[in-house]
Amino acid sequence: MNGIRKTMAAAAITGSMLIGGVVGAVLYGATVIPAAAATTAASPSPTTPSAASGPFVSNETAAHEATESAAREAQENAGQVPTVP
């Protein structure tokens, strides 16, 4: 009878550990999913300052003009946002 009691106790402990693990995983998953959804939904899409402020206006100061390349100056003169250094 003593061996049967040990087996039943071991089975009860093992069963409770399994059930506790499943319940813990379900609760953890239920708390992580809404948190992840809330952070992705709340992040606004980034906007560039030039797109938000209207048409591109080039910087024509002497200090700026001295350091820029001819390709960049051509883009600025064409009214384009420079894509070259």
pLDDT tens for each residue of 10-50: 999 999 999 999 998 888 877 766 666 655 544 555 555 54
At 61-81, the pLDDT tens digits run: 888 888 888 888 888 888 888
- The CA-atom distances, in angstroms, between 45 and each of 7, 38, 68, 82 are 60, 15, 31, 22
Average pLDDT value over all residues in the chain: 78
